[in-house]
Amino acid sequence: MPSTETSQRKIRIVVAKPGLDGHDRGAKIIARALRDAGMEVIYTGLHQTPEQIAETVIQEDADAVGLSILSGAHMTLVPRVVALLKEQGADDVIVTVGGTIPADDISELKKLGIAEVFTPGAPTDEIVDFVRGAVR
Protein backbone atom coordinates (compact mmCIF):
# COMPACT_ATOMS: atom_id res chain seq x y z
CA MET A 1 0.00 0.00 0.00
CA PRO A 2 1.52 3.32 -1.02
CA SER A 3 1.98 5.75 1.81
CA THR A 4 3.18 8.84 0.09
CA GLU A 5 2.46 12.19 1.58
CA THR A 6 -0.10 13.10 -1.07
CA SER A 7 -2.29 10.08 -0.44
CA GLN A 8 -2.49 10.84 3.27
CA ARG A 9 -2.73 14.58 3.19
CA LYS A 10 -6.24 15.86 2.88
CA ILE A 11 -6.96 17.83 -0.28
CA ARG A 12 -6.96 21.52 0.58
CA ILE A 13 -9.29 23.62 -1.50
CA VAL A 14 -10.22 27.29 -1.41
CA VAL A 15 -13.78 28.13 -2.44
CA ALA A 16 -13.84 31.79 -3.40
CA LYS A 17 -16.33 34.44 -4.46
CA PRO A 18 -14.49 36.99 -6.61
CA GLY A 19 -16.01 40.35 -7.44
CA LEU A 20 -19.10 42.01 -6.10
CA ASP A 21 -21.94 39.55 -6.64
CA GLY A 22 -23.58 38.11 -3.56
CA HIS A 23 -24.96 34.89 -5.03
CA ASP A 24 -23.45 32.40 -2.61
CA ARG A 25 -25.93 29.50 -2.70
CA GLY A 26 -23.78 27.50 -5.10
CA ALA A 27 -20.47 28.31 -3.40
CA LYS A 28 -21.83 27.24 -0.02
CA ILE A 29 -23.32 24.01 -1.34
CA ILE A 30 -20.05 23.11 -3.06
CA ALA A 31 -18.00 24.05 0.00
CA ARG A 32 -20.13 21.79 2.14
CA ALA A 33 -20.08 18.91 -0.34
CA LEU A 34 -16.29 19.07 -0.60
CA ARG A 35 -15.98 19.17 3.18
CA ASP A 36 -18.35 16.22 3.52
CA ALA A 37 -16.16 14.40 1.00
CA GLY A 38 -13.25 14.74 3.41
CA MET A 39 -11.44 17.76 2.01
CA GLU A 40 -10.10 20.76 3.94
CA VAL A 41 -12.29 23.58 2.66
CA ILE A 42 -11.41 27.24 3.11
CA TYR A 43 -14.36 29.43 2.12
CA THR A 44 -13.26 33.03 1.58
CA GLY A 45 -16.68 34.62 1.98
CA LEU A 46 -18.00 37.23 -0.41
CA HIS A 47 -16.65 40.18 -2.36
CA GLN A 48 -13.05 39.08 -2.71
CA THR A 49 -10.51 40.77 -4.97
CA PRO A 50 -8.31 38.56 -7.17
CA GLU A 51 -5.38 39.66 -4.97
CA GLN A 52 -7.14 38.49 -1.80
CA ILE A 53 -7.96 35.15 -3.40
CA ALA A 54 -4.41 34.52 -4.63
CA GLU A 55 -3.12 35.42 -1.19
CA THR A 56 -5.51 32.99 0.50
CA VAL A 57 -4.55 30.19 -1.91
CA ILE A 58 -0.86 30.70 -1.17
CA GLN A 59 -1.23 31.20 2.58
CA GLU A 60 -3.42 28.14 2.88
CA ASP A 61 -1.09 26.10 0.68
CA ALA A 62 -4.14 24.97 -1.27
CA ASP A 63 -4.14 22.27 -3.93
CA ALA A 64 -7.09 23.78 -5.74
CA VAL A 65 -9.31 26.84 -5.87
CA GLY A 66 -12.93 26.96 -6.99
CA LEU A 67 -14.11 30.37 -8.18
CA SER A 68 -17.85 30.98 -8.08
CA ILE A 69 -19.07 33.88 -10.25
CA LEU A 70 -22.62 34.70 -11.26
CA SER A 71 -22.14 38.35 -12.11
CA GLY A 72 -20.89 38.04 -15.67
CA ALA A 73 -17.49 39.45 -14.63
CA HIS A 74 -15.71 36.11 -15.07
CA MET A 75 -13.71 37.17 -18.17
CA THR A 76 -12.13 39.98 -16.15
CA LEU A 77 -11.74 38.35 -12.76
CA VAL A 78 -10.67 34.79 -13.63
CA PRO A 79 -7.67 35.76 -15.82
CA ARG A 80 -6.45 38.04 -13.01
CA VAL A 81 -6.58 35.26 -10.45
CA VAL A 82 -4.74 32.94 -12.86
CA ALA A 83 -2.09 35.59 -13.58
CA LEU A 84 -1.55 36.34 -9.89
CA LEU A 85 -1.12 32.67 -9.05
CA LYS A 86 1.40 32.32 -11.86
CA GLU A 87 3.33 35.42 -10.74
CA GLN A 88 3.59 33.98 -7.28
CA GLY A 89 4.75 30.60 -8.46
CA ALA A 90 1.49 28.85 -7.59
CA ASP A 91 0.58 27.82 -11.14
CA ASP A 92 0.35 24.16 -10.10
CA VAL A 93 -2.86 24.99 -8.19
CA ILE A 94 -5.92 23.54 -9.94
CA VAL A 95 -8.37 26.34 -10.77
CA THR A 96 -12.03 25.60 -11.48
CA VAL A 97 -14.88 28.01 -12.18
CA GLY A 98 -18.58 27.65 -11.40
CA GLY A 99 -21.51 29.87 -12.34
CA THR A 100 -23.50 31.29 -15.21
CA ILE A 101 -20.84 31.02 -17.89
CA PRO A 102 -21.82 31.07 -21.59
CA ALA A 103 -20.35 28.32 -23.79
CA ASP A 104 -18.04 30.65 -25.75
CA ASP A 105 -16.45 31.83 -22.54
CA ILE A 106 -15.92 28.27 -21.30
CA SER A 107 -13.51 27.52 -24.13
CA GLU A 108 -11.72 30.83 -23.54
CA LEU A 109 -11.36 30.04 -19.85
CA LYS A 110 -9.99 26.58 -20.58
CA LYS A 111 -7.38 28.10 -22.87
CA LEU A 112 -6.26 30.15 -19.88
CA GLY A 113 -5.63 26.95 -17.98
CA ILE A 114 -8.88 26.62 -16.08
CA ALA A 115 -9.21 22.90 -15.35
CA GLU A 116 -13.01 22.78 -15.55
CA VAL A 117 -16.06 25.04 -15.69
CA PHE A 118 -19.25 23.94 -13.95
CA THR A 119 -22.54 25.54 -14.99
CA PRO A 120 -25.90 25.50 -13.14
CA GLY A 121 -27.14 21.94 -12.69
CA ALA A 122 -23.71 20.36 -12.26
CA PRO A 123 -24.09 17.64 -9.60
CA THR A 124 -21.94 18.04 -6.51
CA ASP A 125 -20.52 14.50 -6.73
CA GLU A 126 -19.25 15.25 -10.23
CA ILE A 127 -17.44 18.29 -8.84
CA VAL A 128 -16.04 16.31 -5.90
CA ASP A 129 -14.82 13.56 -8.25
CA PHE A 130 -13.28 16.09 -10.59
CA VAL A 131 -11.31 17.80 -7.81
CA ARG A 132 -10.10 14.45 -6.48
CA GLY A 133 -8.97 13.33 -9.91
CA ALA A 134 -7.33 16.62 -10.82
CA VAL A 135 -5.39 17.08 -7.60
CA ARG A 136 -3.93 13.58 -7.56
Partner 1 sequence: MAIEPEARRRAHEWMREVYGSAPEREALFETISGEPVKPLYTLDDRADADPERDLGYPGSYPFTRGVYPSMYRGRLWTMRQFAGFGTAEETNERFRYLLGHGQTGLSTAFDMPTLMGFDSDHGRSLGEVGVEGVAIDTLDDMETLFAGIPLDEVTVSMTINAPAAILLAFYVVAAENKGIGPERLGGTIQTDILKEYIAQKEWCFPIEPALRLVEDMIEWCSVEMPRWHPISISGYHIREAGSTAQQELAFTLKDGFTYVESAIERGLDVDDFAPRLSFFFNAHIDFFEEIAKYRAARRIWAREMRETYGAKREESWRMRFHTQTAGVSLTAQQPLVNIVRTTIEALAGVLGGTQSLHTNSYDEALALPTEEAVRIALRTQQVIAHESGVTNTIDPLGGAYFIETLTDEMERSAHEYFARIDELGGMVEAIKQNFPQREIADASFSYQQEVDSGQRIVVGVNDYVNEGEEEIPTLKIDRELERKQAGRLQATRADRDASEVERTLGELRAAAASQANLMPLFIECARARTSEGEMVAALQEVFGRYTETPVF
Report in angstroms how near the CB of residue 76 gets to partner 1 at its nearest.
2
Q: Does 43 bind partner 1 (CB under 8 A)?
A: yes
Selected binder of partner 1 within 49, 52, 56, 113 (CB under 8 A): 49
Q: Are strands 12-16 and 64-69 parallel, antiparallel or unpaired?
A: parallel
Furthest C-alpha separation in the chain: 47
Per-residue binding letters, 62-101, with partner 1 (x by CB under 8 A): ---------xxx-xxx----------------------xx
Contact 40, 13 (CB under 8 A): yes
Q: Which stretch binds partner 1 (CB under 8 A): 6-14, 46-54, 83-91, 107-115?
A: 46-54
Q: Does 58 bind partner 1 (CB under 8 A)?
A: no
Q: Residues binding partner 1: what is the number (CB under 8 A)?
A: 36
Binding site for partner 1 (CB under 8 A): 19-25, 27-29, 31-33, 35, 43, 45-47, 49, 71-73, 75-77, 100-104, 119-121, 123-125
